Amino acid sequence: MKKAFFGLLFGIILFVSSSSSITYAANIQIKVDGVAISSDAKPEIKNKRTMVPLRAISESLGATVEWSDSEVILVKNDMKVMLKLNSSEAEKNGEKIALDVKPYLKNNRVFVPIRFIAETFGCNVDYSGSAVTVETVPLAIDGVPIKALQEEYHMTMGGVVQQINGNAYIEAVYRIFKENKGEKVEAPEHYSWMFTIDTLGSYYKNAQYDFLDHEGNSIVRYDVYSLIRSFPSELLTGYPELLIHDATADEWYLFDDQARQSIGRFIGDASRNGFLTVIKDTVV
Protein backbone atom coordinates (compact mmCIF):
# COMPACT_ATOMS: atom_id res chain seq x y z
CA MET A 1 0.00 0.00 0.00
CA LYS A 2 2.84 2.39 0.95
CA LYS A 3 4.62 1.67 -2.32
CA ALA A 4 1.44 2.36 -4.27
CA PHE A 5 0.88 5.62 -2.36
CA PHE A 6 4.43 6.91 -2.88
CA GLY A 7 4.33 5.86 -6.53
CA LEU A 8 1.12 7.85 -7.01
CA LEU A 9 2.59 10.85 -5.14
CA PHE A 10 5.75 10.76 -7.27
CA GLY A 11 3.65 10.64 -10.42
CA ILE A 12 1.62 13.67 -9.31
CA ILE A 13 4.83 15.62 -8.57
CA LEU A 14 6.21 14.79 -12.01
CA PHE A 15 2.95 15.82 -13.68
CA VAL A 16 2.75 19.15 -11.84
CA SER A 17 6.42 19.86 -12.48
CA SER A 18 6.08 19.02 -16.17
CA SER A 19 2.88 21.07 -16.54
CA SER A 20 4.38 24.17 -14.93
CA SER A 21 7.43 23.87 -17.20
CA ILE A 22 5.23 23.71 -20.30
CA THR A 23 3.13 26.66 -19.10
CA TYR A 24 6.24 28.75 -18.50
CA ALA A 25 7.59 27.89 -21.93
CA ALA A 26 4.31 28.80 -23.60
CA ASN A 27 4.43 32.26 -21.99
CA ILE A 28 7.77 33.24 -23.49
CA GLN A 29 7.47 36.05 -26.03
CA ILE A 30 10.22 36.57 -28.59
CA LYS A 31 10.54 40.02 -30.15
CA VAL A 32 12.87 41.08 -32.95
CA ASP A 33 13.18 44.84 -33.44
CA GLY A 34 10.04 45.26 -31.35
CA VAL A 35 7.94 42.83 -33.41
CA ALA A 36 6.61 39.66 -31.74
CA ILE A 37 7.68 36.63 -33.76
CA SER A 38 4.75 34.62 -35.04
CA SER A 39 5.08 30.84 -35.22
CA ASP A 40 2.86 27.80 -34.77
CA ALA A 41 5.58 26.36 -32.51
CA LYS A 42 6.08 28.00 -29.11
CA PRO A 43 9.51 28.77 -27.62
CA GLU A 44 10.71 26.35 -24.94
CA ILE A 45 13.12 26.28 -22.01
CA LYS A 46 15.67 23.47 -21.99
CA ASN A 47 18.58 23.30 -19.56
CA LYS A 48 17.87 26.93 -18.64
CA ARG A 49 18.29 27.99 -22.27
CA THR A 50 15.59 29.56 -24.47
CA MET A 51 14.97 27.39 -27.51
CA VAL A 52 13.11 28.81 -30.52
CA PRO A 53 11.82 27.46 -33.87
CA LEU A 54 14.71 27.74 -36.30
CA ARG A 55 13.00 29.07 -39.41
CA ALA A 56 11.03 31.87 -37.72
CA ILE A 57 14.06 33.32 -35.92
CA SER A 58 16.44 32.82 -38.87
CA GLU A 59 14.13 34.58 -41.34
CA SER A 60 13.60 37.45 -38.89
CA LEU A 61 17.37 37.93 -38.71
CA GLY A 62 17.69 37.87 -42.51
CA ALA A 63 19.34 34.45 -42.82
CA THR A 64 18.41 31.88 -45.44
CA VAL A 65 17.90 28.27 -44.39
CA GLU A 66 19.23 25.28 -46.32
CA TRP A 67 18.91 21.58 -45.48
CA SER A 68 21.27 18.66 -46.08
CA ASP A 69 20.22 15.39 -44.40
CA SER A 70 20.18 16.12 -40.63
CA GLU A 71 22.29 19.25 -41.08
CA VAL A 72 20.95 22.78 -41.41
CA ILE A 73 22.92 25.63 -42.96
CA LEU A 74 22.19 29.29 -42.20
CA VAL A 75 23.61 31.91 -44.54
CA LYS A 76 23.61 35.69 -44.22
CA ASN A 77 26.01 37.86 -46.19
CA ASP A 78 29.49 36.43 -45.47
CA MET A 79 28.37 34.39 -42.44
CA LYS A 80 27.71 30.67 -42.77
CA VAL A 81 26.53 28.60 -39.80
CA MET A 82 26.13 24.83 -39.80
CA LEU A 83 24.07 23.00 -37.17
CA LYS A 84 23.33 19.30 -36.74
CA LEU A 85 20.37 17.81 -34.95
CA ASN A 86 21.28 16.41 -31.52
CA SER A 87 24.86 17.65 -31.81
CA SER A 88 26.50 19.91 -29.22
CA GLU A 89 28.88 21.32 -31.83
CA ALA A 90 28.20 23.93 -34.50
CA GLU A 91 30.35 25.48 -37.22
CA LYS A 92 30.64 29.22 -37.82
CA ASN A 93 32.56 30.01 -41.01
CA GLY A 94 34.48 26.77 -40.50
CA GLU A 95 35.23 27.36 -36.81
CA LYS A 96 33.95 24.76 -34.35
CA ILE A 97 31.66 26.19 -31.65
CA ALA A 98 30.36 24.34 -28.57
CA LEU A 99 26.64 24.62 -27.83
CA ASP A 100 25.10 24.50 -24.35
CA VAL A 101 22.00 22.78 -25.73
CA LYS A 102 21.77 20.55 -28.79
CA PRO A 103 19.34 21.50 -31.58
CA TYR A 104 16.43 19.07 -31.61
CA LEU A 105 13.37 18.17 -33.66
CA LYS A 106 9.90 18.41 -32.16
CA ASN A 107 6.60 18.22 -34.05
CA ASN A 108 8.49 18.65 -37.34
CA ARG A 109 10.11 21.87 -36.10
CA VAL A 110 13.81 22.33 -35.38
CA PHE A 111 14.53 24.18 -32.12
CA VAL A 112 17.79 26.08 -31.58
CA PRO A 113 19.24 28.23 -28.77
CA ILE A 114 18.20 31.81 -29.52
CA ARG A 115 21.25 33.48 -27.95
CA PHE A 116 23.69 31.53 -30.13
CA ILE A 117 21.76 32.28 -33.34
CA ALA A 118 21.19 35.96 -32.55
CA GLU A 119 24.73 36.76 -31.40
CA THR A 120 26.22 34.83 -34.31
CA PHE A 121 24.50 37.28 -36.65
CA GLY A 122 25.63 40.32 -34.65
CA CYS A 123 22.44 40.97 -32.66
CA ASN A 124 21.96 41.93 -29.02
CA VAL A 125 19.78 39.74 -26.81
CA ASP A 126 18.00 40.98 -23.68
CA TYR A 127 15.92 38.99 -21.19
CA SER A 128 13.20 40.62 -19.12
CA GLY A 129 10.83 38.30 -17.30
CA SER A 130 9.17 36.10 -19.91
CA ALA A 131 10.17 38.38 -22.81
CA VAL A 132 13.27 37.89 -24.95
CA THR A 133 14.17 40.88 -27.09
CA VAL A 134 16.55 40.73 -30.03
CA GLU A 135 17.82 43.98 -31.51
CA THR A 136 19.43 43.97 -34.96
CA VAL A 137 21.66 46.65 -36.45
CA PRO A 138 19.79 49.06 -38.76
CA LEU A 139 20.97 49.60 -42.31
CA ALA A 140 22.75 52.93 -42.85
CA ILE A 141 23.00 54.50 -46.31
CA ASP A 142 25.66 57.20 -46.57
CA GLY A 143 25.61 57.42 -42.79
CA VAL A 144 21.81 57.81 -42.55
CA PRO A 145 20.01 55.07 -40.52
CA ILE A 146 17.12 53.53 -42.45
CA LYS A 147 13.85 53.08 -40.57
CA ALA A 148 11.67 51.34 -43.19
CA LEU A 149 11.52 49.96 -46.71
CA GLN A 150 8.44 51.14 -48.59
CA GLU A 151 7.16 49.11 -51.53
CA GLU A 152 4.55 50.46 -53.93
CA TYR A 153 2.97 48.54 -56.79
CA HIS A 154 -0.05 49.09 -59.03
CA MET A 155 -2.73 46.76 -60.33
CA THR A 156 -5.18 47.24 -63.21
CA MET A 157 -7.33 49.35 -60.90
CA GLY A 158 -5.67 50.80 -57.80
CA GLY A 159 -2.42 50.13 -56.03
CA VAL A 160 -0.78 49.13 -52.74
CA VAL A 161 1.74 50.95 -50.54
CA GLN A 162 3.28 48.89 -47.75
CA GLN A 163 6.22 49.20 -45.38
CA ILE A 164 8.71 46.66 -44.05
CA ASN A 165 10.21 47.59 -40.67
CA GLY A 166 12.54 44.70 -39.82
CA ASN A 167 16.18 45.76 -40.15
CA ALA A 168 17.27 42.38 -41.50
CA TYR A 169 14.73 42.42 -44.34
CA ILE A 170 15.56 46.02 -45.23
CA GLU A 171 19.27 45.25 -45.44
CA ALA A 172 18.68 42.06 -47.45
CA VAL A 173 16.62 43.87 -50.12
CA TYR A 174 19.12 46.72 -50.31
CA ARG A 175 21.99 44.27 -50.85
CA ILE A 176 20.05 42.57 -53.65
CA PHE A 177 19.79 45.87 -55.51
CA LYS A 178 23.40 46.81 -54.90
CA GLU A 179 24.88 43.42 -55.77
CA ASN A 180 22.68 42.62 -58.77
CA LYS A 181 22.97 45.82 -60.74
CA GLY A 182 23.99 44.77 -64.20
CA GLU A 183 25.53 46.82 -66.96
CA LYS A 184 24.61 50.50 -66.97
CA VAL A 185 22.30 51.31 -69.91
CA GLU A 186 20.47 54.24 -71.44
CA ALA A 187 16.95 55.00 -70.23
CA PRO A 188 14.28 53.28 -72.36
CA GLU A 189 12.31 55.56 -74.62
CA HIS A 190 8.95 54.46 -73.21
CA TYR A 191 8.28 53.50 -69.58
CA SER A 192 5.32 54.01 -67.24
CA TRP A 193 3.21 52.66 -64.37
CA MET A 194 0.62 51.87 -67.05
CA PHE A 195 0.64 48.42 -68.64
CA THR A 196 -1.22 49.54 -71.76
CA ILE A 197 1.68 51.24 -73.57
CA ASP A 198 1.46 49.90 -77.11
CA THR A 199 4.84 51.06 -78.37
CA LEU A 200 7.70 48.72 -79.28
CA GLY A 201 10.27 48.56 -76.46
CA SER A 202 7.94 49.86 -73.76
CA TYR A 203 8.54 49.04 -70.09
CA TYR A 204 6.05 48.59 -67.27
CA LYS A 205 6.96 49.67 -63.72
CA ASN A 206 6.46 46.58 -61.56
CA ALA A 207 7.26 48.20 -58.23
CA GLN A 208 8.95 51.11 -56.50
CA TYR A 209 11.18 50.65 -53.45
CA ASP A 210 11.99 53.60 -51.17
CA PHE A 211 14.47 53.31 -48.29
CA LEU A 212 13.12 55.76 -45.69
CA ASP A 213 14.88 57.54 -42.84
CA HIS A 214 13.30 58.13 -39.42
CA GLU A 215 11.47 61.21 -40.73
CA GLY A 216 9.96 59.28 -43.63
CA ASN A 217 12.23 60.82 -46.28
CA SER A 218 13.34 58.63 -49.18
CA ILE A 219 17.13 58.29 -49.06
CA VAL A 220 17.41 55.88 -51.99
CA ARG A 221 14.78 54.67 -54.46
CA TYR A 222 14.88 51.80 -56.93
CA ASP A 223 12.20 51.15 -59.56
CA VAL A 224 11.90 47.75 -61.25
CA TYR A 225 10.68 47.69 -64.87
CA SER A 226 9.80 44.75 -67.10
CA LEU A 227 9.52 44.65 -70.89
CA ILE A 228 5.95 44.65 -72.20
CA ARG A 229 5.68 41.66 -74.53
CA SER A 230 2.75 42.75 -76.67
CA PHE A 231 4.76 42.38 -79.91
CA PRO A 232 6.13 39.24 -81.64
CA SER A 233 9.32 37.96 -79.98
CA GLU A 234 11.46 38.59 -83.07
CA LEU A 235 10.68 42.31 -82.84
CA LEU A 236 11.77 42.44 -79.19
CA THR A 237 15.31 41.19 -79.82
CA GLY A 238 17.80 43.49 -78.13
CA TYR A 239 15.38 44.76 -75.51
CA PRO A 240 16.33 43.52 -71.99
CA GLU A 241 13.63 41.73 -70.03
CA LEU A 242 14.23 43.64 -66.79
CA LEU A 243 15.68 47.01 -65.85
CA ILE A 244 16.14 48.87 -62.59
CA HIS A 245 16.08 52.62 -62.32
CA ASP A 246 18.19 54.12 -59.54
CA ALA A 247 15.83 57.07 -59.23
CA THR A 248 18.04 58.88 -56.71
CA ALA A 249 20.97 58.99 -59.14
CA ASP A 250 18.71 58.84 -62.25
CA GLU A 251 20.67 55.89 -63.65
CA TRP A 252 19.45 52.73 -65.41
CA TYR A 253 20.88 49.22 -65.14
CA LEU A 254 20.17 45.71 -66.34
CA PHE A 255 18.51 43.47 -63.76
CA ASP A 256 17.63 39.78 -63.61
CA ASP A 257 14.55 37.83 -62.65
CA GLN A 258 16.26 35.73 -59.98
CA ALA A 259 17.13 38.90 -58.05
CA ARG A 260 13.56 40.15 -58.42
CA GLN A 261 12.22 36.86 -57.09
CA SER A 262 14.60 37.04 -54.12
CA ILE A 263 13.17 40.46 -53.23
CA GLY A 264 9.69 38.97 -53.38
CA ARG A 265 10.69 36.10 -51.07
CA PHE A 266 12.16 38.44 -48.45
CA ILE A 267 9.05 40.64 -48.52
CA GLY A 268 6.86 37.53 -48.27
CA ASP A 269 8.89 36.38 -45.23
CA ALA A 270 8.54 39.85 -43.68
CA SER A 271 4.77 39.71 -44.14
CA ARG A 272 4.46 36.21 -42.70
CA ASN A 273 6.55 37.09 -39.64
CA GLY A 274 4.72 40.32 -38.82
CA PHE A 275 7.15 42.94 -40.17
CA LEU A 276 4.94 44.31 -42.96
CA THR A 277 2.27 47.01 -42.62
CA VAL A 278 -0.09 48.02 -45.43
CA ILE A 279 -0.20 51.82 -45.56
CA LYS A 280 -2.62 52.19 -48.44
CA ASP A 281 -4.65 49.76 -50.54
CA THR A 282 -6.87 51.11 -53.33
CA VAL A 283 -7.14 47.90 -55.36
CA VAL A 284 -10.74 47.24 -56.41
146 and 128: one domain? Answer: no
Domain match, 155 and 191 both: yes
Per-residue pLDDT, 41: 83
Strands 190-192 and 202-212: parallel
- Which structural domain range is residue 262 located in? 141-281
Give the closest residue to 216 by CA, choosing from 278, 165, 267, 274.
165
pLDDT at 11: 43
The runs of H, that is alpha helices, within the chain are 2-26, 54-60, 114-120, 167-179, 257-272
> Closest Cα to residue 162, out of 263, 278, 264?
278
- Angle formed at CA 139 by CA 136 and CA 150, multiple of 5 degrees: 105
The pLDDT of residue 264 is above 50 = yes
Query: What pLDDT, in 10s, does the model give residues 245-262?
Result: 999 999 999 999 999 999
Question: Do 115 and 245 lie in a common domain?
Answer: no
Q: Are residues 196 and 93 in the same domain?
A: no
What does DSSP say about strands 131-135 and 29-32: parallel, antiparallel, or unpaired?
parallel
Question: Are residues 151 and 124 located together in one domain of the fold?
Answer: no
Whether 117 and 169 map to the same domain: the answer is no
Q: Please tell me whether residues 150 and 113 are part of one structural domain.
A: no
Look up the CATH number of the domain holding residue 44.
3.30.457.10
- Does one domain contain both 153 and 118? no
- Among 10-14, 151-155, 181-185, 194-198, the minimum mean pLDDT is found in 10-14
Q: So what's the pLDDT on residue 26?
A: 52
Q: How far apart are CA 205 and CA 188, in angstroms?
A: 12
Whether the Cβ atoms of residue 104 and residue 49 lie closer than 8 Å to each other: no
Question: Considering the domain boundaries, does residue 18 fall inside one?
Answer: no
Whether residue 207 is found in the same domain as residue 237: yes
Indicate if 145 and 267 belong to the same structural domain.
Answer: yes
Please indicate, yes or no, whether residues 69 and 108 belong to a single structural domain of this protein: yes
Please tell me whether residues 86 and 127 are part of one structural domain. yes
